A and B are shown apart, each in its own frame.
Chain A
Amino acid sequence: MMNYDIVIVGGGPAGLAAAASARKAGIDKILILERDNRLGGILNQCIHNGFGLHTFKEELTGPEYAQRYIDQVLEDKIEYKLNTMVMDISKDRIVTAMNRTDGMFQIKAGAVILAMGCRERPIGALGTPGYRPAGIFSAGTAQRLVNMEGYMPGREVVILGSGDIGLIMARRMTLEGAKVKVVAEVMPYSGGLKRNIVQCLDDFGIPLKLSHTVIDVEGKEHISAVTIAEVGPDRKPIPGTEERYTCDTLLLSVGLIPENELSKGAGVEISRITNGPVVNESLETSIPGVFACGNVLHVHDLVDYVSEEATRAGENAAKFVEAGCRETTSGEDIKLIATDGVRYTVPSTINLGRMDKMLTVRFRVGAVYKNAAVSVYFNDERVMHNKKRIIAPGEMEQVILLKDKVAAYKDLKNITIKIEQD
């Protein structure tokens, strides 16, 4: 069995940033395991720009953004294995992986960083009635086919769901000469970033139909049409609102699911809300020494936040290794409670002993709020009240907690984050 201080599962933006920060923190033996044939993960197919505005203060494409981190990993001579699938992670941190040249092999890891990213929800998960012909793709699969393989799925496109990849693909397919007829979104708001709605739909005159969904798929061998209908507040179709669109392609952008089969196999506790691991302030899961970051933890809106989060995961994994692969804390955890519109928080608990001077708590809301405030309560006392013009599910929100304040508060058991309308 091989031995590494830190094994990182996934060589996308999260895994790369975690590796670089763990190295910076002084860890020598780091191994990245990547299933694809290059580092960079899903960024490699995101050839549009808009990445890195926060991190690098410039607009990069996905591959350019990834390259910054790949360069760092190469410069640091961090080991990685490509075309390698991790098959199993055990709770005592033995990682089993496989590839063509090494066969199936096992690694004993001082710490494991989960950075597997997420996958797209398929049409099957929606229970959409109709046929199941060719020509139905998740937006990310289509993105790979167009941007990396160089093939167009079709010329007349309907998009179900307004997640960011769907919005980006609406523009991409249009630029490739296809006609994107409509984007239907079952919710009364988009799940994507405002800037993507403006730049990818509005600028190209592509209609976005909120509170609409696909209720029938036609075509036995290849898709030939879909029927879209308006849905009521119960998300059930409203009779009489049906509209039929002929098309040869249906793209789905109906949600991303953190890919945690390996985590579950190891016994990591998973949140029912995020579908990602439940983590503490160190981004450590319920299994000591197993950390998580990026979209495997919770789905992010911007890669900049993934990098920032993964950097912390790398630092914390390094601390764990330096402490002899042991927990370094004592005392009660402070619980973070998400309520009144806040769906979840990452992290879920804080241990003062390990808390950094500043801790970014990230979350998403469950509906669109206008002129509302993000409030933070220490026990029952409101300590923060940040007014915002708009808070939407498509954009990740954050509050920053200062260790001084948290430590100074007597008998602090719960920190509650909620949305308050004035």
Chain B
Amino acid sequence: MIYDVIIIGAGVTGCAIARELSRYKAEVCVLEREEDVCCGTSKANSAIVHAGYDCVPGSLMAKMNVRGNEKMDQIAEELDVPFKRNGSLVVCIHEDTLDGLQDLYDRGIANGVKGMKLLNREETLAMEPNLSDDTQGALFASTAGIISPFRLTIGFAENANKNGVDFRFNTAVENFKKDDEGIWHIRTNNGEYKTRCIVNAAGVYSDKFHNMVSEDKIHITPRRGDYYIMDKEMGSFVSKTIFPQPTAYGKGILVAPTIDGNLLAGPTAIDLEDKEATATTQDGLDQVLAGAGAHVKGLQIQRKCIRVFAGLRAHEDHHEFVLGEVKDCPDFFDAAGIESPGLSSSPAIGEYMAGLISDKYGFRKNEHFDPISKGVLNPKNLSIEERNELIKKNPAYGNIVCRCESISEGEIMDAINRPLGARSLDGIKRRTRAGMGRCQAGFCTPRQMDILHRELGLPYEKITKMGGDSYIVRERSKGGEDK
């Protein structure tokens, strides 16, 4: 078949575009090299919805960020994504840089950011008592928020799928060319796909695909961000997202509660060549300790950390989103250079890109479009009576599999058996939080394997952490018997 649109990449950008395109009558397919959505930059970032005061006024970044932020309540509601406007503080700790806060404020006004306020030292410390004694003042932005980047990406994807978008996983695009009739032939490791229009939402690889078709080259630097994530007992150490004042390298090392109740510190900004190098380094982690400690006092990161991780930003040389049809290559659209505030901007990028594409091809409205998708049922939101009702109907909800996060077998089965369901431990983790707690899956790994084995008929040796070669067990032990 010939698709109307094929999107390369099932990160938050690709999935947002897919979802917005599903408002139209068009055959759309998303190709993803990994085994699931949300496996690249979208899974390893600050999980922040930025207010939009630090983008250059007039830039696409500024427009998309502010618009994306505005749309986030509705998106979160429609897609059942945990989201909270906890507010942010850009904290100044050097008297001689206090002017910088005013500059940020002015930028915010120029960008149309609402709900900002400049605070003096006392007001700042009253709002956030655990800030550094050096605190001089802060810029408060009430519209800043925290969100689950996993659930947002999965929400976009599931809703797109519900409205007719196909997803092909484990499908890596190798190259593509247009035939005489204007049809793109995309070669992948998983067969050929044909489409009238390609959307390049390939994250750190978006320059590679762009440069295959355009003489107007772009360059993406994988800019690594290292993070510490801390135990939930630290989740309310600060209530707002605490930023330092921004530098040329970005928004700096923040300290923020996560929507699920942990505390996050990071990221660094370390430019790399290797687009796969998501390994943390000691140097990077040390930078996080120093940076976070400069603005928040008494933070025992190393004592309370439960995981370190790193993600790669797709940093375009001009620090600007590259959105739209490539000038010298019709029917090839970029959504490239999507780094921070990419997550915040995703609802707007989806809307903008889908608008451009549907205009060009004259797609008609899909009157059956249903904007609502429910996430994995979370029994913690139920009363005891409702919960018992649920357990009576499906006893799996009475069986806790992940003790740290209190995730039941019912939730894990839901995550596996829904459309675009989880195929691996990490897939389950991103959908339910099973294995994301303080023991980091030490307890639930064998139990989750039993469920994956039963629900998907996977032999134990084929069960993976995250697809590919990430097997958990290699072979039977000498005494191992068939289960």
Is there a chain B Cβ closer than 8 Å to A292's Cβ? Answer: no
Question: Chain A: how many interface residues by the 8 Å CB criterion?
Answer: 55
Query: Taking the complex as formed, is B381 at the interface, i.e. its CB lies under 8 A from any CB of chain A?
Result: no
Give chain A interface residues in 81-129, CB to chain B under 8 Å.
83, 85, 87, 98-104, 119-120, 122-125, 127-129
- Does chain B have a CB within 8 A of A375? no
Residue of B nearest to A83 (CB): B399
Question: Would A177 and B478 count as touching, CB distance under 8 A?
Answer: yes
B112 adjacent to chain A (CB < 8 Å): no
Secondary structure class of chain A's binding surface, majority of residues: mixed
Q: How far is the CB of A24 from chain B (nearest CB, A)?
A: 31
Interface residues, chain A, with chain B CB atoms under 8 Å away: 35, 83, 85, 87, 98-104, 119-120, 122-125, 127-135, 137-138, 140-141, 144-155, 176-177, 215-218, 220-222, 237, 248, 261, 264
Q: Across chains A and B, which 4 residue pairs bring their CB atoms closest together, nearest first?
A: A150-B480, A124-B307, A122-B440, A151-B473
Q: Is B276 part of the binding interface, using a Cβ–Cβ cutoff of 8 Å?
A: yes
Find chain A residues with CB under 8 A from B399 CB: 83, 85, 99-100
* Chain B residues touching A, range: 35 or more
- Contact between A124 and B305 (Cβ–Cβ < 8 Å)? yes
Question: Across the interface, do B445 and A222 meet the contact criterion of CB distance under 8 Å?
Answer: no
Instruction: Tell whether A154 pairs with B474 under 8 Å between CB atoms, given A127-B228, A129-B279, A129-B281.
Output: yes
B residues adjacent to A (C-beta < 8 A):
228-229, 233, 276, 278-282, 284-285, 302, 305-309, 384, 387-388, 391-392, 395-396, 398-400, 403-404, 406, 438-443, 445-446, 449, 460-461, 464-481, 483
Pair A100/B468 contact, Cβ less than 8 Å: no
Q: Which residue of A lies closest to B392 (CB)?
A: A103
Residue pair B395, A176 in contact (C-beta under 8 Å): no
CA of A141 to CA of B439, assembled, Å = 11
Question: If the complex has contacts A87-B406, A176-B477, are A104 and B308 also in contact, measured as CB distance less than 8 A?
Answer: no
Residues on A with beta carbons closer than 8 Å to the beta carbon of B440: 122-125
If A101-B398, A221-B466 are given as contacts, then 4 extra A-B residue pairs at C-beta distance below 8 Å, sorted by A number, are A85-B400, A119-B439, A127-B302, A152-B473
Whether A155 contacts B384 by the Cβ 8 Å rule is no
CA distance in complex: A220, B285 (Å)? 19
Given contacts A123-B440, A134-B472, contact A103 B465 (CB under 8 A): no
Q: How far is the CB of B424 from chain A (nearest CB, A)?
A: 9
Are A130's CB and B280's CB within 8 A? yes
Q: What is the bound-complex CA distance between A264 and B406, given in angstroms? A: 16
Nearest chain A CB to B275 CB, angstrom units:
11
A127 CA to B279 CA in the complex, in Å?
12
Q: CA–CA, A35 to B402, complex, Å?
A: 11
Smallest beta-carbon distance B195→chain A, Å: 29
Are A150 and B479 in touch, CB under 8 angstroms? yes
Query: How far is A414 from B404 in the complex, measured between Cα atoms in Å?
Result: 38
Complex Cα spacing A176 to B474, Å? 13
Nearest CB of chain A from residue B222's CB, rounded to whole Å: 13
User: In the assembled complex, how far is the CB of residue B263 from the closest CB belonging to chain A, in whole angstroms?
Assistant: 14
Q: How far is the CA of A154 from the CA of B461 in the complex (A)?
A: 11
Taking CB atoms, residues of chain B closer than 8 Å to A220 are: 276, 278
Q: B481 and A129: CB pair below 8 A? A: no
Q: Is the CB of A221 within 8 A of B439?
A: no
Given contacts A127-B305, A130-B279, contact A150 B476 (CB under 8 A): yes
Name the A residues within 8 Å of B284 (CB-CB).
Answer: 129
